[in-house]
Structure 1
Amino acid sequence: MRSHKGEARQMGILTRSLCLLCFFFCLPIPGTSAPPSEYQLKAAFLYNFALFTEWPDQVGDTLYLCIHGRDPFGEDLAKLDHRQVGTRTILTRHTLTLNEVQSCHMVFISNTAIGQLSRILEALEGIPVLTVADTPGAMRQGVALNMVRQHNRIAFEANLTAARAQGLNLSSRLLRLATEVEQ
């Protein structure tokens, strides 16, 4: 059972994270007049997904965030390297094979790899890996979190059944922000 102090701390983290997302949405990047790119925002979402996922102890001290397929993030994802998620440190990497995906804790399945989705999910069966995509219909196909564009904003859908099948718990605070939750 979690203490009220722990819940308050987690709520404070969520509030700060949401403020950060609002900051990204509302302000241009210093030195430019352009708002943040779609994938800068999605990188921020990935970080928040990691923060509000309860990881099993077997994950260890390093949380490997992998991109499977062509990397749409560029330098924006590298900014997550060495960021803290609780007591764990994020390290990003790119995967080319299904065996490599099995050593990840969080995997973003890019549009170029979505055709392999059923094989990827099969390879990850029973392994505590949070699957994330940004492809229409991916949540219904078994991806735990799927980012979508809605009214010119980034939103996300959650497949709670898929996350639980991987031994992961998604925070109720995170789920409240989802546009759709499949249970």
Structure 2
Amino acid sequence: MDKYNVHSKKIHGCLSVFSLLYLLFLSGFSFAQEAQIEYKIKAGYLYNFTKFITWPEDKSATFNLCIVGKDPFGSIIDPIERKSVKSKPIRLYRFDSSNEIKHCHMIYFASLVVEREWNLPSKAILTITSLNKTLTAGESKSFIKSGGMIAFSLEEKKVKLKINIKALRASGLDISAKLLEVADIYDGVPND
């Protein structure tokens, strides 16, 4: 009977370990699914911004959406290249170098790690983009305070927008009141 109890305890212990591993796998899978959904929503927002922001006319044949830093979207955002903005096909670029930002109409800053990669302070990068009439979007808390135009945040599992109205107006881009209605407005006054 003792052999049976020892053997039963080993089986029970193994089953407990496997159950725990399975639960960890499921929670990791759930987290990955939530992140995927979050970035699908953000990709949708990026495209829809083009309907509520007006860029000055330019001679480029394409509308260039650039992702700077570590790309959190992966292939989720790739279908955006099948869409267009004012009859210009959208082209998606991912890069680490600041040499190409002048050709972007919209830049998504994955994080402000960019300042280390480019050896430029983030405010300098954002100033360069505002001079080029480039819409900037990002997701770090300091992004909007550093002059970024639209910041994403995740609150209660919902993607929220915050718009830096001063930075947007200074850039020369026109924004629809409809977009302002669905976002929190940051006017340069800390309220966090």
Query: If the TM-score is normalised by the length of the shorter chain, which range does it land in?
Result: 0.7 to 0.9
Shift of 1:41: 1.0
Partner of 1:143, secondary structure, is coil
Alignment of 1:72-151 (within 5 A): 72-111=72-111, 112-113=113-114, 116-151=121-156
Pairwise mapping of residues 21-40 of structure 1 onto structure 2 (< 5 A)? 37-40=37-40
Question: 1:13 is matched with which residue?
Answer: none
Distance 1:87 1:166 in 2: 23
- Alignment of structure 1 residues 1-20 onto 2, 5 Å: none
Conservation of the 8 A alpha-carbon contact between 1:59 and 1:105: no
Instruction: Give the Cα–Cα distance (whole angstroms) in 2 for the partners of residues 180 and 163 of structure 1.
Output: 11
Quote the Cα distance in structure 1 between the aligned partners of 2:125 and 2:82.
Answer: 26
Question: Are 2:70 and 1:65 aligned?
Answer: no
Q: For residues 79-113 of structure 1, what are the alpha-carbon distances to aligned partners after superposition, in whole Å with 9 as ceiling and x for unaligned?
A: 10130223332110012221211111100011132
Partner of 1:44: 44
Shift of 1:164: 1.9
Pairwise CA RMSD of aligned residues? 1.9
TM-score computed with the length of structure 2 as normaliser: 0.71
Q: How far 1:59 sits from its partner (Å)?
A: 5.8
For residues 47 and 59 of structure 2, what CA distance do their matches in structure 1 show? 16
Q: Is the 8 A contact 2:165 2:185 kept in 1?
A: no
Please tell me whether the aligned partners of residues 61 and 87 of structure 1 are also in contact (alpha carbons under 8 angstroms): no
Identity of aligned residues (%): 28
**Could you say which structure has the larger radius of gyration?**
2
Which residue identity lines up with residue 124 of structure 2 in the other structure?
Answer: R
Give the gaps of 5 or more residues in structure 1.
1-33
CA distance 1:114–1:147, shift in 2 (3 Å): farther
Q: Using a 3 Å threshold, how does the CA distance of structure 1 residues 49 and 114 change in structure 2: closer, same or farther?
A: farther
How far is the alpha carbon of 1:182 from its aligned partner? 2.3
Distance in 1 between the 2:53 and 2:69 partners? 23
- AA at the equivalent of 1:113: V
Give unpaired runs (5+ residues) of structure 2: 1-32
* Deviating 4+ runs (over 4 angstroms): none
Q: How many residues align?
A: 150
Quote the Cα distance in structure 2 between the aligned partners of 1:160 and 1:75.
31
- 1:170 matches 2:175: yes
SS of alignment partner, residue 80 of structure 1: helix
